[in-house]
Amino acid sequence: MQKKFVGHFLGSFAAGLFFSGVVTAASNLYTIEDIQRLGLQANGLLQAARTQVEIAKSEVVSAAAFPNPEVSFMAGPDSPRLPEIDTGPASMQRQVTVSQPLENPLLRNARIDGAEAGVEASRASLDQARADLTARLRVTVYEYLLRKGQAEIESDIYDLMEAIRRRISLSVEVGEVARFELIRADTEVMTAANRKQATLLDVERSRIALLQLTAGTLPPTFDVVARLGDPVDLPSLEELRAELPVSNPDIVRLEAEQARANLRIDQEKAAVLPSVNILYSNYQDRQFTSNTAGLSVKIPLFYRRRGEIDAAVFDAARLRETLDYRRYEIVRLLESAWQSMEIARRRVEMFEGGIVREAEAALRVAETAFRLGERGFMEVLDTQRVLRNTRSELLQAQFELQAAAAEIDRLRAHYPQDQYIE
C-alpha cells in the first residue's frame, strides 16, 4: 500500500501539528519512564501531597514538645489600713509563682504515636498520588500512540482513495466509465481527508494532555520511544492478590488512620486521669520572705470525657469498616483489570494471528483486479473498509491491554521508586 502522507498533507495545519513532533523526534525522544519521572517532579498536585507529609512531620514535633511552665508576678505597695497604727514608711510586696505541668506519660505517648501514624497516612496518600499519576501518564502515552496509529491508517486510506480517484478520472476522460463514478470517488476522497484531519487533531490533543500532566516540562516537539505492541509482563494473579494488601497505598493509608484512631481512644482515656502541676511561690514584704512549694491536681470528678471517648470509638469503628470494604473492593478491582487484560490479550492474538494479514491480502487482490478492470470501485471500497476496521480494532485491543496493565500497576503502586527521593 502506498504511503504518501508527507507529499499530500504537509501544507495543512493539522498535518503541521502532527509532524512538529515527528520531524524533531531524533533530539526529543522520551521513554515512558522519562515522562513519568518528569511528571513526578513537576506535577503540582503531587507537590501538594509531598507538602502534606511535611505538615504531618511537623505535627509529630508538636506532639513531642513538653508543656511550657507558667510564671506569674505580682507586686504592690504595702501600707497600713488604720492610720492610728504607725508601722513605719510604706514598702513594696512582691510575689512570684512558677507552675510546671507534669504530663501524663500515657497521654503523651498516645499523642506522639498518633502523630507518627498520621505521617504514615500522609506518606501512603503521597504514594497513592504517585501511583495514580504514573498510571495516568502511561495510559495517556499509549493513547497518544493509539491516535498516531489511527492517523497512519487514515493516511493510508486517503492515499489509496486518491490513487483510485486519479485512475477513475483518466477513465472518465477517455470515456471508459461514467462521470458518476468520479463523483462517488471524489466523495470518498473528501471523506477520507476529513477522517485523516480528525485523527491528526486527536494526536495533538493527546500530546497536549501529556504536556498538561507533566506541567509543561516536556518540549512541544517531543516524541515517545514506545509501541502499542510492547510486551506486558506481570506476576500471576495469585501473586498479585498476595501482594496487594501490603502494597496498595489506599489500604496502607486506611491502616495508618485506623491505628491513629485507636491511639486517639487511648489518648482520650488517658486524659481522664488526674493532671498535676508543680507549684513554687516566692513572697517578699517589708518583714518577711517566704518560699512555698506544692502540687495542683485537676480531678475529673463530674465530667470524665465520655463524649470524646465515644467519638473516638465510633471513628475507629468507621475506619475499620471502611478498611474491610476497601480491601474487598481493591481485590475485585484487581480481578476485573486482570480479566480485561486477558480479554484484550486474546483479541490482540486473534487479530495478529491472521485476520489483519488476510484483510491486507484481500485489499491487494481488489486493487490489482481494479487496475486490470476486473473489479469495480465498490469492491475496492468494501475491502479497504474491512481492512480499516480490522486494523483499528487491533490498535484498540493493544491499547486496552496496556491500559489494563497500567491499572494493575496502579493498584499495586508499581512504578520506578528511584524517581523521587523523600
The pLDDT value recorded for residue 188 is 82
Mean pLDDT of the chain: 84
From the list 133, 181, 134, the residue with the least C-alpha distance to 161 is 181
Residue 87: band (very low, low, confident or very high) from pLDDT cuts 50, 70, 90: low
* d(C-alpha 317, C-alpha 314), whole Å: 5
pLDDT tens by residue, 370-408: 676 666 666 777 777 887 888 889 999 999 999 999 999
pLDDT at 383: 79
pLDDT higher than threshold 50 for residue 20: no
pLDDT level of residue 210 (50, 70, 90 thresholds): very high
Residue 2 has pLDDT above 50, yes or no: no
Confidence at residue 8, expressed as pLDDT on a 0 to 100 scale: 37
In 111-263, at which residue ranges do the beta strands (DSSP E only) sit? 223-224
pLDDT band at 19 (very low <50, low <70, confident <90, very high): very low
What's the confidence (pLDDT) of residue 88? 59
Say which residues have a Cβ less than 8 Å from residue 231's Cβ, sequence separation at least 6: none
> CA 34 to CA 218: how far, in whole Å?
10
Q: Which amino acid is present at 216? A: G
Q: What mean pLDDT comes out for the span 149-169? A: 85
Do residues 168 and 185 make contact, with C-beta atoms less than 8 angstroms apart? Answer: yes
Q: Which of 24, 373, 338 is nearest to 177 (CA)?
A: 373
pLDDT at 84 over 80: no
> Which residues, at least 6 apart from 344, have a Cβ–Cβ distance to it below 8 Å?
397, 398, 400, 401, 404
Over residues 201-223, the mean pLDDT reads: 91
Relative to beta strand 91-102, strand 70-78 is: antiparallel
88: left (phi over 0), alpha (psi -120 to 50) or beta: left
- Which is higher by pLDDT, 8 or 364? 364
pLDDT mean over 36-47: 89
Question: What is the radius of gyration, based on Cα positions, of the chain?
Answer: 38
C-alpha distance from residue 253 to each of 127, 246, 264, 313, 326 (Å):
9, 11, 16, 19, 11
Q: Tell me: pLDDT of 254 over 90.
A: yes
**Would you say residue 367 has pLDDT above 60?**
yes
Total Cβ atoms within 10 A of residue 346: 12
Q: What's the grid cell of residue 39?
A: 511528571
pTM of the model: 0.79
For residues 169 and 122, the model is more confident at 122
At residue 178 the predicted structure's pLDDT band, cuts being 50, 70 and 90, is low
The pLDDT assigned to 21 comes to 38
Per-residue pLDDT band for 9 (boundaries 50, 70, 90) equals: very low
Given a cut of 70, whether residue 417 has pLDDT beyond it is: no
Between 244-253, 327-336, 344-353, 382-391, the lowest mean confidence (pLDDT) is in 382-391
